A and B are shown apart, each in its own frame.
Chain A
Amino acid sequence: MAKVIGTVVVDRERCKGCDLCVVACPCDVLSLAAKDVNDRGYHYAMMVNPEACIGCAACATVCPDACIEVYRLTQK
């Protein structure tokens, strides 16, 4: 059976750490960096559970700063 896997790339410097992507993700892939901040002092979003990503793009869709790219791959 074909399995869909995905990944996201967060533009860390553009991210404002609003957390909306984290909430939107149905697979708990994302989290805000606990300690690290970007140049503007925001705790940026990052993948903490990359294997769970299905590339659904919910995170990117709700991102107000358009800083998430999403890739999807169907494994046969």
Chain B
Amino acid sequence: MNQDEIIKQGTKVYSRPRLMDDRNMHYCPGCSHGVVHKLVSEVIEELGLEDKTIGIAPVGCAVFAYHYIDVDWVEAAHGRAPAVATAVKRLDPSRMVFTYQGDGDLAAIGTAETIHAANRGENIAMIFINNGIYGMTGGQMAPTTLEGMKTATTPYGRRVDLNGYPLNITPLLAQLPGTCYVTRQSVHTAASVRKCKAAIKKAFQAALDGRGTAVIEVVSTCNSGWKMSPAKANEWMEENMFKAYPLGDLKPLE
């Protein structure tokens, strides 16, 4: 049976999410952002939240998230997405409000906003892309950069005596009574993508229902910043990133 016949007689089991714009994304080939963008689009559509979702975009590679997912957006200053989200949600709690932030945004410049929004139990979801590097500015050290990891600003590898330790922020957030759900996922295999989608769905529903702050860390690759092929970056992530940032629920949704 040839391809045309399968297409004609079969069922379409996977297609581009309806809420994703037609335009090509600016991300590098193999970038995890694209996969997470797909999941966000699918979840919003499946939960029927297209008309009441407001995304808060960060500064970092995902600064143009608002170009790709067809919901309302606010583009926040670097690190301030949780503060922006706080006001957007409080002014109308019927909205589903989520932030989409990288490690520099959420865990370096925006640490205060992240922790305090979570500690207040703002009814928002935070998607946290942790790839251990500053992608947009050209691969500098991030708070989550691993010890020994080479970046543009740690050209001989991160040294804890000079640069401090990698900041494992998600367990800190899990400790706060304001968070209702804290989980760490990845999107490097088909199975992990499906699990991550389920986590995002749970988080968005929890935020909508006013249960507190839901945090989904996605341990991700930045193959350009890491200077590896996308496939090699996935392997490196499994071997190195997952040791420092093990996957799983840090605080299950009750």
Contact = CB atoms under 8 A, between A and B. Distances in A.
Contact of B29 (A7, A16, A57): A16
> B interface, by DSSP: helix, strand, loop or mixed?
mixed
Give chain B's interface residue range (CB within 8 Å of chain A). Answer: 35 or more
Contacts of A60: 14-15
Interface in A19-76: 19-20, 23-24, 42, 47, 50, 55-58, 60-73, 75
Give chain A's interface residue range (CB within 8 Å of chain B). Answer: 35 or more
A23 B25 CA distance: 22
Given A6-B6, A7-B7, A24-B189, A69 B32 contact: no
Interface string B1-40: 1010011011111111100100011011111111100100
Specify which of A47, A56, A62, A71 lies most central, judged by the most chain B CB atoms within 10 Å of its CB: A62
B11 A62 contact: no
A61 B11 contact: no
Interface of A: 5-7, 9, 11, 14, 16-20, 23-24, 42, 47, 50, 55-58, 60-73, 75
15 contacts: A7-B6, A16-B28, A19-B230, A23-B234, A42-B29, A57-B13, A60-B15, A62-B188, A63-B34, A64-B29, A64-B31, A64-B35, A64-B38, A70-B14, A75-B1
